[in-house]
Structure 1
Amino acid sequence: MEGIVTVVILLLVNLSVIVILNEMIQTNPGLQDGIFIIKRSVFIGPTHYQLWSWENIFIVLMVIFDVGVVYWRLIRRYHQMQLRHIIGELHYIANGHFDHRIPFTLKGDTQRVVTSVNSLVDSVIASIDEERRIEKSKDELITNVSHDLRTPLTSIIGYLGLIEDHQYHSEEEILKYTNTAFSKAKQMKSLVDDLFVYTKMRQTDTPLSIATLDVDQMMEQLAASFELEAGEKGMSISVETPDEPVHIEADAEKLGRVFNNLISNALKYGEGGKHIALRVNPVSDDEVVISVENDGQKIPRAALGQVFERFYRVEESRSKATGGTGLGLAIAQSIVSLHGGYIYVTSDDELTRFVIHLPVKNGVKIKNQQVKPTH
């Protein structure tokens, strides 16, 4: 409709201009003579065709101009219609249809707009999903912490309440109550401390006290510190290192916590095991692999992909018989990740191995090559 209106207006304008020019030429003899001279001196093509009518020349020029104007108007209107369609699609998505994307394919800058809008919607949806996941994770964290704090807190209140109400028969019984309350309080403190460390390690901007670390010497010190406890459980600890010293840039205190957690877990949960091995293997100039292995009871295959989740315990019950808060491996994974490395576990009837890949230089991030176990 706009094209038709534009054509009609242009025809009227053209007719008006032709009438006005014709009137000017008819009333001006000098102009007529000038036009006649130009006509006779202008030849077109190999046949030397002469233009005897200025109206024909003007009409051809006006037709070319009119076609250009009509084309410009129609293309402009077409782009406006495309833009309205895009806005309509955006309103449809904004009304809650987040799985919808602008389906049509256009050309030029308009298609870039469509692609950008679809990418933006994907990014927003991904952000919303991530926010929901984080919110759910926070709720689970609060639930788990509440559960693990409530049990020892109930015991503390119960035993102290017995003392408060004088429900004891001897000083020995009082000491028994206070000793139990004290143990439960230490258990609560351990959980709070681990929770603090876990949340701190989860922050990507957590500072690291980087220094050059002798990995061989660190493993020897760890083995020596756990030798007595391992002997009490009928287990031995050995260290296997390469002939050449291995040095990395890392936070010694935080990495020490990682290996303390892994060795402690091997002693607690490696039922039936006789040996724990700490192995150091520099696989390249940029990467070192350190493993903590034990020959105790294997981890069920279905649990391998969950052992690094916070508060997860392999045993079915949440009994504290083996101690621990369920945060040790989650903390270890966070610390290793802060160093630019990664950690994974394998387990079979013969050996359970926690394998840590660390970069030699600080600031380098190693790509995780481990294939996640299937459940």
Structure 2
Amino acid sequence: MKRRIFLYNAVVVMIALTALLIVSGAVIRSVNDHYMERPPVVDDNAPKVQKAMTQWLENPSSWEDLNQRLKDLGYALYVSLNGAEVYSSMAPIQTDLLRQLPRSTSWPSGEPATLWMGGALVIGMRSGPYTILAMGEPNMPKVFGRQRVQTEAVLLSVLLIGATAIVVIVLLSMVSTHFQLKHILRPVNALTDAARRIEAGDYSQPVGYDGQDEFTAVCAAFEHMQHHLLQEREKNAAYERARTDLVAGISHDLRTPLTSVKGYIKGLRDGVANTPAKQAQYLDIAYRKACDMDVLLQRLFYFSKLETGNLPLFPVRADLGEFVRGFVRDTAGDLEQRGGKFLVRGAPAPHPVRIDTEQLYRVLTNLTDNAVRYTGAEALVLTLTLWRERDREHLRFADNGCGVPEEALPHLFEQFWRGDQSRGGQSGEGSGLGLYIVKYIIEAHGGTISARNDGGLVFDIALPCEEEESDHA
């Protein structure tokens, strides 16, 4: 675009200057030739003028009387005293010619002399302190309405050419500017129309600019933004549907244990449970159903904290190895009841980290629940491996299941994403939040988590190492 504008302006200036030089040269040459073609005039009245001036000297009278005599012969009179004008009947062109007389011009005293001045015959003489000049009508062309001397004619011609050149340059500039603006406004109008379409909610139509200039990148970036907005709108719509499904699912799942709690309490109240053993059974079932409702409500509450960014972290210094072994001790019995077991591997070396123990406990719980529900192994084995690599403490959480399809790996940590195996989950599971929560908590600790298939599904967690020297700080 800058190159095109520079080229347009350069072309306009070059054309205008070239035209000005050509026209100026032609006009000046024509004017000069016009003046040069005027031959000296042969005036038969010149001797009569000389005689009239001589007779006037012999018998002086008024300047008006001498002027009348010269006027009858076709001449005009000019009288000066020591260079100052005393009397003049000359036309403007004759006055202009007189101004071109050299100051050194000397006229004889008492006897008229003649002088040819580029188109006019001048007859002059001196009478005492007076200089008396008579000039016939100049043989000069008319320029702009009247006869003019050559220098004036050339100057006026140049001024006229300059004015014409200015008009031409302005017109050429206007034409050039019109085409430049038309070219520049193409992408601007395209972007404006695209912005209006986006404002109206239409993200499908491209900008539609195929030029090759600075605006090409802008239009490409705008289309990329438009495509991104379209994807975000579709993703947000999917998220909204998933949120609706989540709330509807949890509401539905709450209804089942709530109905059970109400039924067993009603049984107690109505005396259906009429023995201590049966009453204890009813209370135990009602308590477990209430715990199930609490789990569902906690999950919904936890999700709302994630959505608003109000999930607080209270990190403390801890040993990752001891934390993992403590988690295994706490949950091993429950896992065995569900048909699985833990294996912990790694050197007993210290693994210092700063973690929120409650939130990291939730991470391991979610990974364990995910493995129990979706691994598909008859004898589930969860292997937790610890090691240190440079300034990172690593924890590998691996199962012995069948893994997940490779195309599903990039989506495991997405909010509300659910694989085919998770669609039959119970009690509010299968909402697509478990691994999303895991990733959120790990990244909030400044760590990373990734998933891969390696004899089962493997999660690699890396957390910043808390240097031991900080104990002595």
Paired residue secondary structure (2:379): coil
1:128-170 per-position Cα deviation (integer Å, ceiling 9, x unaligned): 4454344233222222222322222232334444556x37262
Indicate the residue corresponding to 1:334 in structure 2.
440
1:132 alignment partner AA? A
**Which of 359, 362, 373 is the equivalent residue of 1:254?**
359
Q: CA deviation at 1:217?
A: 2.3
**TM-score normalised to structure 2 length:** 0.53
Question: Greater RCO between the two (CA within 8 Å, min separation 6)?
Answer: 1
2:292 aligned with 1:187: yes
Shift of 1:249: 3.5
- What SS does the aligned partner of 1:168 have? coil
**Selected match of 1:74 from 163, 172, 175:** 175
- Name the CA distance, whole Å, in 2 between partners of 1:206 and 1:28: 101
Structure 1 residue 186, shift from structure 2 partner: 1.0
CA deviation profile, 1:311-333 (whole Å, cap 9, x unmatched): 9583663445xx97865444323
Q: Return the letter of the residue paired with 2:442.
A: V
Q: Which residue of structure 2 aligns with residue 61 of structure 1?
A: 162
Q: Which region of structure 1 is more displaced relative to structure 2, 215-224 or 225-234?
A: 225-234
What is the letter of the counterpart of residue 98 of structure 1?
A: Y
Deviation at 1:88, TM superposition (A): 4.9
> What is the SS of the residue equivalent to 2:443?
helix
Give me the whole-angstrom Cα distance separating, in 1, the residues matched to 2:297 and 2:389: 38
**Preserved contact between residue 273 and residue 282 of structure 2 (Cα < 8 Å):** no
1:157 aligns with 2:262: yes
Matches within 5 A, 1:66-145: 66-78=167-179, 81=182, 82=185, 85-86=189-190, 87-88=192-193, 90-91=195-196, 94=199, 97-105=202-210, 118=223, 121-122=226-227, 124-125=229-230, 128-145=233-250
> Contact conserved, 1:240 with 1:280, CA < 8 A, in 2?
yes
| 2:282 maps to 1:146 | no
Q: Aligned residue for 1:277?
A: 383
Deviation at 1:189, TM superposition (A): 0.4
111-120 or 337-346, larger mean C-alpha shift: 111-120
Q: Aligned-pair distance for 1:183?
A: 1.7
Q: In structure 2, what residue type is equivalent to 1:144? A: G
Tell whether the 8 Å contact from 1:344 to 1:355 is kept in structure 2 after alignment. Answer: yes
**In structure 2, how many angstroms separate the alpha carbons of the residues matched to 1:240 and 1:338?**
26
Equivalent residues, number: 319
**C-alpha displacement at 1:351, in angstroms?**
4.2
Instruction: State yes or no: 1:289 paired with 2:394.
Output: yes
Name the % identity: 19
In 2, the alpha carbon distance for the partners of 1:185 and 1:274 equals: 29
Residues 265/111 of structure 1: CA separation in 2 closer, same or farther (3 Å cut): closer
2:402 is matched with which residue? 298
Residues 197 and 78 (structure 1 numbering): CA distance in 2 closer, same or farther, change over 3 Å?
A: same
Q: Following the alignment from structure 1 to structure 2, what is the Cα–Cα distance between the partners of residues 222 and 307?
A: 24
- Structure 1: runs of 5+ lacking an equivalent: 1-25, 38-49, 363-375
2:128 is matched with none
CA distance in 1, matches of 2:212, 2:94: 54
1:170 aligns with 2:277: no
In structure 1, C-alpha distance between the alignment counterparts of 2:278 and 2:344, rounded to whole Å: 46
Aligned match of 1:343 in 449, 455, 472? Answer: 449
Of the three residues 241, 244, 251, the one matched with 2:346 is: 241
Q: Deviations over 1:105-127 (max 9, x none)?
A: 56878768756765664565455
Contact 1:198 1:334 (C-alpha < 8 Å) held by counterparts: no
Q: Is the 8 A contact 1:273 1:294 kept in 2?
A: no
Whichever structure has more strand as a proportion of its residues is: 2
2:463 paired residue number: 358
Structure 1 residue 66 displacement after superposition: 2.2
State the match for 2:304 in structure 1.
199
SS of the aligned residue for 2:359 comes to: helix
C-alpha deviation, 1:352, in angstroms: 4.1
Separation in structure 2 between the aligned mates of residue 52 and residue 267 of structure 1, nearest angstrom: 108
CA distance in 2, matches of 1:183, 1:258: 23
SS at structure 1 position matched to 2:387? strand
In 2, the alpha carbon distance for the partners of 1:311 and 1:92 equals 31
Structure of larger gyration radius: 2
| Range 331-340 or range 26-35, more displaced | 26-35
TM-superposition CA deviations, 1:161-190 (whole Å, max 9, x none): 4556x3726245554444333221110101
Match of 1:135, SS? helix
Secondary structure, aligned partner of 1:356: strand
TM-score (norm 1): 0.64
* 8 Å Cα contact 1:93-1:100 kept in structure 2: no
> Once the 2 structures are TM-superposed, how far is the Cα of residue 52 of structure 1 from its aligned partner?
6.5
- Once residues 336 and 359 of structure 1 are traced to their aligned partners in structure 2, the CA distance between those partners, rounded to angstroms, is 10
Deviations 1:286-326 (A, max 9, x none): x333112343x434548964765659583663445xx9786
In 2, the alpha carbon distance for the partners of 1:32 and 1:361 equals 106
8 Å contact from structure 1 (residues 201, 335) kept in 2: no
CA distance in 1, matches of 2:279, 2:423: 34
Q: CA RMSD in A?
A: 4.5
Give the one of 424, 440, 445 matched to 1:317: 424
Partner of 1:21: none
Q: Structure 1 CA distance, aligned partners of 2:306 and 2:324?
A: 23
Q: Which amino acid aligns with 1:170?
A: N
